Amino acid sequence: MYVAPSILSADFAKLGEEVKAICEAGCDLVHVDVMDGHFVPNLTMGPVVVEAVAKAASKPLDIHLMVENNNFFVDLFAPLKPKFLSFHIEEEKHPHRLIQKIRSLGISPGIVLNPHTPPESIRYILNDIDMVLLMSVNPGFGGQKFIPSVIEKSKRLCEMIKEQNAKLMIEVDGGVNGLNVRELDEAGVDIVVAGSYVFGSSDYKSAINSLKV
Ligand code: DX5
Ligand code: ZN
């Protein structure tokens, strides 16, 4: 299992140190939640802050857009060269076009599905993306309770990936902890995002290790 701590739960007064600490503690990706106050009822980081995060990080960035105007935000964040740049399918009229754009910028495109969104909604773009991010909470805030229907959704998505012989990773975001990670692994999940579980612990290294099942 790859582990992507969400810096949303970090201490923002010492963000650089926090980013360095999770990288040294062995995380695989640094998960960055970009919220615009419209698509979700919260507002987080712009490119100035994320650029500082990128400088402090020795691991690749995994940028999760939770915004209304995806195209505009892709232009803002692509210059920071994240490994993954993911947007919500619920908020995009032309996902296939935006995927091509992200790829043409040398970045791996990802699609995010809210808890209610079926995996069938991305059936015909499965071969065009490198990652699907399944939300296991409603986007907007850290520290929420895990929604268990994501397990079945991940299994269904695995079947679809096999049927289509597609090559992409499954990431789950929200309420992940040391207790539910094994079930996620068994459901075919490749990457877990964990915010409050990692940053709420007194030992980042052991929290991250406990997710590497
Ligand atoms: C929620 C964000 C998550 C959040 C996860 O909108 O996408 O990445 O930070 O936080 P936890 O792990 O605390 O649920
Ligand atoms: Zn996220």
Confidence at residue 120, expressed as pLDDT on a 0 to 100 scale = 97
Confidence at residue 160, expressed as pLDDT on a 0 to 100 scale = 98
CB 110 within 8 A of CB 134: no
C-alpha 79, offset from chain centre = 18
Ligand 2 centroid – CA 97 distance (Å): 22
Q: Which residues contact 58 (CB under 8 A, 6 or more apart)?
A: 20, 23, 24
Q: Which residues contact 148 (CB under 8 A, 6 or more apart)?
A: none
Confidence at residue 99, expressed as pLDDT on a 0 to 100 scale = 98
| Ligand 1 binding residues, C-beta < 6 A | 6, 8-9, 31, 33, 64, 137, 139-140, 142-144, 173-176, 193-197
Confidence at residue 56, expressed as pLDDT on a 0 to 100 scale = 98
Strand ranges of the sheet holding 61-66, from the earlier edge strand across to the other edge: 2-5, 191-194, 169-173, 131-135, 108-113, 84-88, 61-66, 30-35
Burial class (CB in 10 A: 0-12, 13-18, 19+), 53: buried
Number of residues written out for the chain: 213
Q: What is the DSSP letter of 47?
A: H
Nearest residue CA, atom 6 of ligand 1?
139
Confidence at residue 114, expressed as pLDDT on a 0 to 100 scale = 98
List the pLDDT tens digit at each of the 213 positions of the chain: 999 999 999 999 999 999 999 999 999 999 999 999 999 999 999 999 999 999 999 999 999 999 999 999 999 999 999 999 999 999 999 999 999 999 999 999 999 999 999 999 999 999 999 999 999 999 999 999 999 999 999 999 999 999 999 999 999 999 999 999 999 999 999 999 999 999 999 999 999 999 999
Helices (H), 89-180: 95-104, 149-164
Determine whether 33 is an active site residue.
Answer: yes
C-alpha 102/C-alpha 167 separation (Å) is: 17
Determine whether 185 is an active site residue.
Answer: no
**Left, alpha or beta for 103 (phi > 0: left; psi -120 to 50: alpha)?**
alpha
